[in-house]
Chains A and B, each alone.
Chain A
């Protein structure tokens, strides 16, 4: 609808009257702008002039809301009237680690309520760290063109909400539930998909910790000829997995569920031929799962390994994208370094995620990876022992690194060989990895590390800091030195009001700042709030009633076009 345009002039008689020049221009502009897909390009185009602003708004089909509280739903939807795909992100990432009480917010309800009026033609929705209720899902399911739902790290809903989506969304192609918390309402939601052929292309539910009725799943897979991605939860045994694979040889992405026999399999039953099942899936490029891995069954996947380009796997493999547990040990990582020459992304998770656990991977493994996987772009590495030398080596061997996240699990741990802080290692990363945009630090770090980050980290957009630094100077280095900084999350570091103040002119250009258990006072935070009217400054009180002088537990602040939110719970004070 073009309400904001002047009405076209009346036509004269029966003769064709060409539209006025500015309207021609707008038509052309809209046609051209439709080809712009990158958000950054669109945002730039919208700033050219009013006419471009209007045309861009009408042609934007994908709406991205990086912080659900940065703008009111109505305002966003009234500007971008024709969006059919929406992504909304809610809680800050540290909420994943219990650093924020539940019920903080990020409710999806106000968004879906507005969508019910403004976006009836919605096709795709992706939510991350939002609180979504079953009622929200029910409303969503009533949108006639809705076909893709992706929920990442969300909570608030249960299998009854899934049941409604399954039964009412006749055009559903994608239902991806990734690391959500889903309540078990004892409803067999898989059975709620309608009978007859479905258009399902992706069904991911490995995080759903509820038993499913397998026969219903098998029938669903059998009648979903377009299904390419299927990731099962741990209630699917290896025998059941086999049955699904022979029904769906066209799968490209498979999450294998438990990959272990269920107790129901009787002794002496002839075991199915797993190898040939995997062999039959010629198109598999992504394999994950193996939640309760029984090593005897692993050889079954070897036939398909040669074709895989991406693997999320708790074990050994050779791929482009690899996610392992640290049980592979340094030796396993050495094998990866020796064989996975094209590896782009590596994640090594700890099997025992405690600070003083025995971690079987260390600087040795990191060094091996850096020497073998020269094309590495992204790494997440949990360990207990690290050296500057290994990190420096990685910075020199892997110049393509865009994401470097190192978590030395013991707090304040220095280089275990030289006993020095890890400053030089992280300094080398920011200096040598010229494409770096995301950095997470750990280990013993002084202000020097931050001076390096401020000096060299010119492209850094996301920075995660924990138990690091000596003084306000550290944070000042970062706030003054990193022009592209968007997301800064800091915990348990000795940064105070003076440092906070030094970043004043930056905060409108950032998506958010999180600082918990630092040295901020209420007064310091209030000063910021007073000087920056478009910043929402939230003080969040933790569950423990510890009053350390008047240090603030958690500061979470973000820019917003629509002022402070109305749904803040009692433990949040908005200054």
Chain B
């Protein structure tokens, strides 16, 4: 929803009419409508200032709702989350799967919904476990890589990550394992 910018304020002088300043229009008291449903939560570029405008331009165009800027206001996300704990749980329709890695003593858990594609997932796994998984190929799987990711699907079968389309994978994956490349060769024939 776009807020109409009204610069005629009943309460005080129309100083805004003569104002020339750098940056996005600040929130005016006269337009106090809140439109929570239409908030644009996309991360905007932090460099949103630098737009020099004059008053006559403002009255012509309707500026978009203020996009949320990264890291502003400066409240730690821990603190933001702690006042809406129930809400987080309601939104947690994430698909959490455990990931183990050969040789590592601790399991990790990841939310598959966070990723949109295999490359994203593999990169995240590489970062998480500090290993190199390499590139998937239909013919050779992860041949030549130090590690290969496999997953257990709904049927209880262990499959090579990457074989099926992403959407099918993210809905059927129950858990994952990052196995040593040398052992993974045996899966090439699956």
Contacts and interface: CB of A to CB of B under 8 A. Distances in A.
B22 A291 contact: no
B21 A409 contact: no
B49 interface: yes
Contacts of B80: 353
Interface string A407-420: 10111111011010
Main secondary structure, interface of A, reads loop
A158 interface: yes
Interface stretch (B62-70, B131-139, B159-167, B171-179): B62-70
B86 to A, nearest CB: 8
A371 to B, nearest CB: 24
Given A325-B83, A492-B47, A517-B47, A412 B26 contact: yes
A575 interface: no
A185 B107 contact: yes
Given A185-B107, A410-B26, A412-B24, A354 B68 contact: yes
A179 B27 CA distance: 32
Given A414-B26, A444-B21, A492 B74 contact: no
Contact of A411 (B24, B45, B85, B107): B24
Interface string A450-477: 0000000000000000110010000000
A179 B24 CA distance: 33
B78 A207 contact: yes
A183 interface: yes
B93 interface: no
Nearest to A95: B71
Nearest to A357: B34
Contacts of A416: 29
A413 B26 contact: yes
A367 B119 CA distance: 54
Interface stretch (A29-37, A49-57, A97-105, A505-513): A97-105
Contacts of A94: 71, 74
Contacts of B12: 417, 419
Contact of B27 (A314, A351, A410): A410
Contacts of A385: 29
12 contacts: A94-B71, A134-B105, A179-B76, A292-B85, A410-B27, A410-B66, A411-B23, A412-B21, A412-B22, A412-B23, A419-B15, A419-B19
Interface of A: 94, 96-99, 103, 134, 153, 158, 160, 179, 181, 183-186, 207, 234, 291-292, 314, 325, 349-351, 353-358, 382, 384-385, 407, 409-414, 416-417, 419, 444, 466-467, 470, 491-492, 494, 516-517, 542, 544, 546, 548, 551
Interface of B: 12, 15-16, 19, 21-24, 26-27, 29, 32, 34, 39, 43, 45-50, 65-66, 68-80, 82-83, 85-86, 105-109, 127
